[in-house]
Amino acid sequence: MFTVKSILWACLLPVLATPQYQFGPDSKRRPDVPKGTVSEYSWNSSKIYPGTTRKYFVYVPAQYDGSKPACLMVFQDGSGYVNESGSFRVPIVFDNLIAQNQMPVTIGVFVDPGVLPALSPESQQNRYNRSYEYDALGDRYARFLLDEIVPEVSKNYKLSKEPNDRAIGGSSSGGIAAFTVAWNHAESFHRVLSFIGSFADLRGGDIYPALIRKTEPKPLRVFLQDGTNDLNLFAGSWYLSNQSMYSALQYAGYESTFVVGTEGHNGKHGGAILPDALRWLWKGYPAAVSKPSSSGVDRHFVAEILDPSSDWQLASSDIPQPQDFTIIESKQDISFQPRYGGKRLVLQRERSAADALQSAAGAVFSPDHSLLHVRDGVSRFVWSYQIQPDGSLTNAEPFYRLEIPDNPQPRTAPVGMSVDIEGYLYVPTELGIQVCDQPGRVVAIINNPESGFVSTLAFGGPDLQSLYATAGDKVYSRHLRRKGTQPSQAVKPPQPRL
């Protein structure tokens, strides 16, 4: 039977059960711990974000003496992290953990988002760059850090260039920015710290869980934190988005953890656990953060395609004969002439170009030579055409939907694609070599060689299981679990798995 007292307790229990996040001893000043210094600077000459102005801060631990390079950790929204009375108190935590040898001697760089000052402040508003810089998925912000801020700090301090010695972190949009920098430049950062990360659709960040599942893994260690009462608004649910991120990271085999609290979109929980988060991020140092292994992990198509014992290696300057075409475009048609010989294929341009191939940037036969797949140079699609006996191309569909980078416009440079005997299509892109299954879906993304964007692909080697790629003036090869086709030989692929 319910009483007034029992009802009162029922109402109070959720409140009493809510954790009260308090600062622990490692977030408080200790008189016996050497204190580092924090210096404030301004950056008003950015070429990547022209016209912007911002503050940044540099923390230098007392243990740094310049005799050897220090580790580096970058924080977005820098002003909020150097405030010793704020939610995070990073300089205090750094001092304590470094003194306890629970993290290495680390120089912290705390960068505020840029602001474009109005020309007439009395009547005009500034342009605030925070979302543009932090929520975007391209590598513009990473280049800003790596090409401008870090070199500027390096003028006064020795910073390690080893990615294992570098971490990056932030909260909210600063959290997704930290992940984006490391995701796009794993050769520069191996450790990621994200509190209440905005992995929602503010600027397309909700795509990350799918990209993580599809993409060949990178050597990253990722710490995630969020609260069950975080934002739920037009861009999505922050808590669900962080759950999806963690699920994808676990699926792909990444060393990752997800600490869940009950707070909303604030730094109360993250600030309280910052010392433990940093311990986890730097655990085992100087042991390197390793690239995830597919051993024991269902990596789906990535595991089916990649040979775990093989990575990109420099090959000879000669690439095996690719399925290459001479492409000639006119107002009336687009013709494709196989370079190795064969019938000229002709695509008649449609009168209405609203739903048609705009510009041919590469072409390849299907394994059985019944279809011609053509990369559109101005969209995300690869079109598929049926080849008629007279060489005409019909029954067009924008069949293959590629993942595209967060750049103003897609790359329009010609690319050389390839296919394997299973009917899978391999397409060079800025995000990596995207592998599409027969139904037209991107199921795997192979990381590009270190030289960057790949222009031509071809299968070769005695077993046709080596994928050759030209990147710049270099040729690379990589052994796969899939077998390619000879350009002049038609092979009927199996029925696809739908």
- pLDDT tens for each residue of 433-443: 999 999 999 99
Res 292: pLDDT: 86
Query: With bands split at pLDDT 50, 70 and 90, how would you rate the model's confidence at 11?
Result: very low
Given a cut of 60, whether residue 419 has pLDDT beyond it is yes
Give me the CATH code for the 301-479 domain, please: 2.120.10.30
Q: How far apart are CA 94 and CA 73, in angstroms?
A: 10
Residue pLDDT, tens place only, 257-287: 999 999 999 999 999 999 999 999 999 999 9
Mean pLDDT for the chain?
A: 92
DSSP code at position 27: G
Give the Cα-Cα-Cα angle 85, 88, 89 (nearest 5 degrees): 50
Structure tokens at 178: 């930290």
Res 19: pLDDT: 62
Question: Which of 142-151, 249-258, 302-311 comes out lowest in average pLDDT?
Answer: 302-311
| DSSP per residue, 214-269 | HBPP-S-EEEEEEETT--EETTEEHHHHHHHHHHHHHHTT-EEEEEEES--SSSHH
The mean pLDDT value for 372-393 works out to 95
**Spans of all domains in the chain:** 19-281, 301-479
Instruction: Indicate if the alpha-carbon torsion angle 375, 380, 386, 392 is positive or negative.
Output: negative
Given a cut of 60, whether residue 297 has pLDDT beyond it is no
Query: With bands split at pLDDT 50, 70 and 90, how would you rate the model's confidence at 409?
Result: low
Residue pLDDT, tens place only, 16-52: 445 689 999 999 999 999 999 999 999 999 999 999 9
Query: With bands split at pLDDT 50, 70 and 90, how would you rate the model's confidence at 294?
Result: low
The 3-state DSSP composition of the chain as helix, strand, coil percent (nearest 5) reads: 20, 30, 50
Res 318: pLDDT: 73
Residue bearing the bigger pLDDT, 150 or 4: 150
Q: How far apart are CA 90 and CA 82, in angstroms?
A: 6
Residue pLDDT, tens place only, 328-362: 999 889 999 998 788 999 999 875 556 789 889 99
19-281 belongs to which CATH class? alpha beta
Given a cut of 60, whether residue 466 has pLDDT beyond it is yes
Q: Helix count (H) and strand count (E) of the chain?
A: 11, 27
Res 413: pLDDT: 67
Phi, psi dihedrals of residue 465, rounded to the nearest 5°? -110, 10
Given a cut of 50, whether residue 183 has pLDDT beyond it is yes
**DSSP H/E element including 399:** strand 393-401
Q: What is the pTM of this model?
A: 0.92
Res 9: pLDDT: 42
Res 157: pLDDT: 98
Given a cut of 50, whether residue 219 has pLDDT beyond it is yes
pLDDT above 70 covers a percentage of the chain that reads 93
SS3 94: helix
The mean pLDDT value for 453-458 works out to 91
Res 406: pLDDT: 85
Res 322: pLDDT: 82
Q: Is 403 exposed, middle or buried (0-12, 13-18, 19+ CB in 10 A)?
A: middle
Given a cut of 70, whether residue 300 has pLDDT beyond it is no
